[in-house]
C-alpha cells in the first residue's frame, strides 16, 4: 500500500504547511460477471491492496478547491460553483464527487486535497472508482458527519462517472471499492443490491493479473455503445410483452431474446446473448466455489472470455493472445477483466504451474509486442476507510 507519510509530505509542501485527514480506497478485481452490472445481473468483485490515498482538509473558503495530483505533479484550483468545472480529467472526479455529495445533503465547502495512487491506470482495475470513493469518504467525514451511507457513496461515485466523465458505467467498481473486505470476494445482485461476502482462499491455486499495458478510453467509447445495445434489446422485448415489466436484460429470457433477434439485428442480439449467459455463469461459479470445484470455476472463466471476445467484442488481439497462452500452459481459468478494450486478464492458476506460465507469457508477449505484460499477484484487501 502507499505510504501515508509520502502523501502527507506533499500535502504539507503544496499547501499551507498544515496537515489534514488521510483516506484510502482500493481498486478492484472481478472474478466473473462482466458487463452484467448495468443489466441488473450479478457480479463477483473484490477490492485489491492497491488504491488511492488522499489527504484532505477544509480550507475555510466558501467553495474553492485546491487540488494536487502527486503522481502527475499537477495542481488545479477550481470553484465548486463553476458550472463547467475543471478541465483536467483527474480533477473532474473531485469536482463531480463534491457536487454529488452536496446533492446528498453534505454541506461541502472549500477544501485542499493531495492524492496519489498505485492502481495501474488503464489496467481495468478501476482507478477511477478508487478516486471517487476515496474522495467521497473524505468529504463525508470532513463535512458530513459521516451521515451519508456506504450505498449512497457508491451511487455518488457512479453518478460522477455519468454526469462529469461521460461513462455510463454500472455500480460494480464503486461498490467493490467501498464495501471491499480483506480475503473476501463479494457476490452482488445489481438489481436488488443484496450482496454476500465469500471468503476466497483457493487451496493450491492463486489469482494473478497479466496487464497487456494496452490502454483503453471508456469515455465516448464503445462501452456506452454496448450499454445502448442491451437497452435496445430490452425495449424491443418490452414492446412485444406489454403484460410484463422489463427494466433490464435481467428480466428477459432466452426465448424472448430469440423472438426479437431479427428486428434488433445480429450485433445487438450477440451483445444480449453474452449478457444472459454471463448472468447464469456467475451463479454457476458461486455453486462451484461452494463445492470447492476450482476447475469448474476456471472453465466458466474461459467461457466468459470467449463471449467477451466474440459476442460482446470488447477484447483485443493482445488479450486474446494472453488468453491463448494461459490455455496452452494448462492455466485453470483465464479471461479479460473489467470493461475491456485493453487492460488485463485475470488468471486462476495452480501453484505448481504459476512460474512456468508467467515466464512463458512474458517471453512470448515480448516477442510479439515488444514489451512484457505486467504481473500483479492478487491480494484481496479492504474497502474505503479513514487512515488517520
Interface positions, 307-366, toward ligand GLA (CB under 6 A): 338-339
Catalytic residue among 37, 118, 152, 173: 173
For the window 31-50, what string marks contact with ligand GLA as x by the rule CB under 6 A? ---xx-xx------------
Q: Which is nearer to ligand GLA, 141 or 306 (CB)?
A: 306
Minimum Å distance from CB 194 to ligand GLA?
18
Minimum Å distance from CB 321 to ligand GLA?
21
CA distance 1 to 16: 26
Answer yes or no whether residue 172 interacts with ligand GLA by CB under 6 A.
yes
What order of strands is seen across the sheet that includes strand 195-199? Answer: 42-43, 184-189, 195-199
Three-state helix/strand/coil letters over 303-322: HHHHHHHHCCCCCCHHHHHH
CA distance 71 to 7: 10
Q: Which is nearer to ligand GLA, 65 or 286 (CB)?
A: 286
CA distance 275 to 249: 7
Q: Which is nearer to ligand GLA, 37 or 211 (CB)?
A: 37
Q: Among residues 281, 358, 322, 310, which one has the least CA distance to residue 31?
A: 281
Catalytic residue status for 3 = no
Residue 305 grid cell: 472470455
* Residues 30, 44 contacting (CB under 8 angstroms): yes
Judged by CB under 6 A, the stretch of 86-94, 142-150, 165-173, 262-270 that binds ligand GLA is: 165-173
Q: Among residues 42, 39, 43, which one has the least CA distance to residue 247?
A: 39
Residue 106 grid cell: 453534505
Judged by CB under 6 A, the stretch of 10-18, 166-174, 206-214, 252-260 that binds ligand GLA is: 166-174
133 vs 23, 155, 159, 276, CA distance in Å? 10, 10, 12, 29
Minimum Å distance from CB 307 to ligand GLA?
12
Judged by CB under 6 A, the stretch of 70-78, 169-177, 196-204, 372-380 that binds ligand GLA is: 169-177
Helix (H), strand (E) at residue 50: strand 45-58
Q: Which is nearer to ligand GLA, 27 or 144 (CB)?
A: 27
Q: Which is nearer to ligand GLA, 56 or 123 (CB)?
A: 123
CA distance 179 to 150: 8
Q: Which is nearer to ligand GLA, 61 or 221 (CB)?
A: 221
Minimum Å distance from CB 291 to ligand GLA?
25
- Report helix angle 261-290 to 294-310, nearest 10: 160
User: How does DSSP classify residue 251?
Assistant: G
Q: Are strands 64-69 and 111-117 parallel, antiparallel or unpaired?
A: parallel
Minimum Å distance from CB 164 to ligand GLA?
14
Partnered with residue 55 across adjacent β-strands are 22, 114
* Residues 89, 29 contacting (CB under 8 angstroms): no
Q: Among residues 40, 35, 27, which one has the least CA distance to residue 341?
A: 35
Minimum Å distance from CB 48 to ligand GLA?
14
Counting residues that bind ligand GLA (by CB under 6 A) gives 11
Minimum Å distance from CB 96 to ligand GLA?
14
* Buried b or exposed e, range 357-380, using 16+ CB within 10 angstroms: bbeebbebbeeeeeebbeebebeb
Partnered with residue 74 across adjacent β-strands are 69
Q: Which is nearer to ligand GLA, 126 or 133 (CB)?
A: 126
Minimum Å distance from CB 266 to ligand GLA?
22
Query: Exactly one of 100, 173, 268, 382 binds ligand GLA (CB under 6 A); which one?
Result: 173
Enzyme catalytic residues: 173
Where on the chain is the footprint of ligand GLA (CB under 6 A)? 34-35, 37-38, 126, 169-170, 172-173, 338-339
Amino acid at each position: 500500500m502507499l505510504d501515508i507519510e509520502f502523501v502527507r509530505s506533499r500535502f504539507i509542501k503544496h499547501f499551507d504547511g498544515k496537515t489534514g485527514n488521510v483516506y484510502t480506497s482500493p481498486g478492484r478485481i472481478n472474478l466473473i460477471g462482466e458487463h452484467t452490472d448495468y443489466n441488473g445481473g450479478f457480479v463477483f468483485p473484490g477490492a485489491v491492496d492497491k488504491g488511492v490515498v488522499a489527504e484532505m482538509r477544509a480550507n475555510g473558503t466558501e467553495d474553492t478547491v485546491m487540488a494536487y495530483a502527486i503522481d502527475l505533479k499537477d495542481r488545479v484550483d477550481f470553484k465548486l460553483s463553476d458550472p463547467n468545472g475543471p478541465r483536467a480529467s483527474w480533477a473532474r472526479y473531485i469536482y463531480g464527487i463534491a457536487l454529488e455529495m452536496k446533492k446528498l445533503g453534505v454541506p461541502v465547502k472549500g477544501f485542499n486535497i493531495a492524492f496519489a495512487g498505485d492502481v495501474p491506470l488503464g489496467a481495468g482495475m478501476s482507478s477511477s472508482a478508487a478516486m471517487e470513493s476515496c474522495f467521497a469518504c473524505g468529504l463525508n467525514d470532513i463535512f458530513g458527519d459521516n451521515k451519508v451511507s456506504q450505498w449512497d457513496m457508491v451511487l455518488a461515485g457512479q453518478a460522477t462517472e455519468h454526469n462529469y466523465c461521460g461513462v455510463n458505467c454500472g455500480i460494480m467498481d464503486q461498490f467493490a471499492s467501498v464495501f471491499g473486505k480483506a480475503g473476501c470476494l463479494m457476490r452482488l445482485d445489481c438489481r436488488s443490491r443484496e450482496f454476500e461476502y465469500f471468503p476466497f482462499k483457493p487451496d493450491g491455486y492463486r489469482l494473478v493479473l497479466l496487464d497487456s499495458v494496452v490502454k483503453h478510453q471508456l469515455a465516448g467509447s464503445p462501452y456506452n455503445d454496448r450499454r445502448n445495445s442491451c437497452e435496445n434489446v430490452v425495449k424491443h422485448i418490452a414492446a412485444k410483452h406489454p403484460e410484463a415489466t422489463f427494466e433490464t436484460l435481467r428480466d428477459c429470457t432466452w426465448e424472448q431474446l430469440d423472438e426479437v433477434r431479427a428486428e434488433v439485428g445480429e450485433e445487438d442480439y450477440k451483445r444480449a446473448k453474452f449478457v444472459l449467459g454471463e448472468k447464469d455463469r456467475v451463479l454457476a461459479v458461486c455453486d462451484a466455489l461452494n463445492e470447492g470445484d476450482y476447475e469448474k470455476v476456471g472453465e466458466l472463466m474461459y467461457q466468459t472470455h470467449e463471449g467477451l471476445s466474440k459476442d460482446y467484442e470488447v477484447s483485443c488481439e493482445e488479450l486474446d493472445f494472453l488468453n491463448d497462452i494461459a490455455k496452452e500452459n494448462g492455466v485453470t481459468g483465464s479471461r479479460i477483466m473489467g470493461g475491456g478494450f485493453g487492460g488485463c486478464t485475470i488468471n486462476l492458476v495452480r501453484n505448481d504451474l504459476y512460474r512456468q506460465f508467467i515466464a512463458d507469457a512474458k517471453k512470448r508477449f515480448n516477442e510479439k509486442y515488444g514489451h512484457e505484460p505486467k504481473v500483479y499477484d492478487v491480494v484481496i484487501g479492504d474497502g474505503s476507510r479513514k487512515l488517520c
